[in-house]
Amino acid sequence: MRHFLALLAMSYLGAALSVWWFSGFIPWFLLPDFPFLAIVFAGLFVPGIAGFLCALPPAVFREITTSAPAWSMFLGSLALYFASREVGRRFFLRAEPHLLTAVASLLLAESASIVLLLHLAGARPFSLLWGAQEAVRIAWTSLVAIPVFLDLSSRWRRVQE
């Protein structure tokens, strides 16, 4: 229950800060995607049905706060949860470089899938500037993930002991 409440608070606070408070002052690509981080953390470190339940509220927050077609971010976030769960099962992710690589890879895969879907729909809103901004967003969110994930996982291990 503590894990659920911690991830819920982190994803809600991060979404609220990014969307409602900082969006007028800081460019979108410099704001870390905290609901994304909560979903990935639930997939990597929270086992079983508890991880899935921890991933549901951040998925809803991502659906509400983005201007994507209906249900696309929610279903994409659940797919992200299952992908991160598979990464967590197959790789040992306790060291910082491994966490950074996993989070950056998942962000890159998500960005590539969005680009592919928009390209298939006939939209071409991408440019070199957008690619540079997306690279900064991926790097920044991945770097923020390391201290957050290490702190939450160490606290979770202490609670279990």
pLDDT in tens, 140-149: 889 888 888 8
How far is Cα 12 from Cα 49, in angstroms, rounded to an integer? 21
- How many domains in the chain? 1
Domain containing 71: what range?
2-160
15 or 38: which leads in pLDDT = 38
More confident residue, 68 or 76: 76
pLDDT at position 68, please?
A: 73
The full length of the chain comes to 161
- pLDDT number for residue 153: 77
Q: What is the average per-residue pLDDT within 89-110?
A: 83
Compute CA distances 32 → 21, 90, 104, whole Å: 13, 26, 12
How far, in Å, CA of 146 to CA of 156, rounded?
15
Average pLDDT for the chain: 82
Q: 93 and 44 in contact (C-beta within 8 Å)?
A: yes
Q: What is the C-alpha separation between 44 and 89, in angstroms, rounded?
A: 8
Position with higher pLDDT, 109 vs 95: 109
What gap in Å lies between CA 16 and CA 32, rounded to an integer?
12
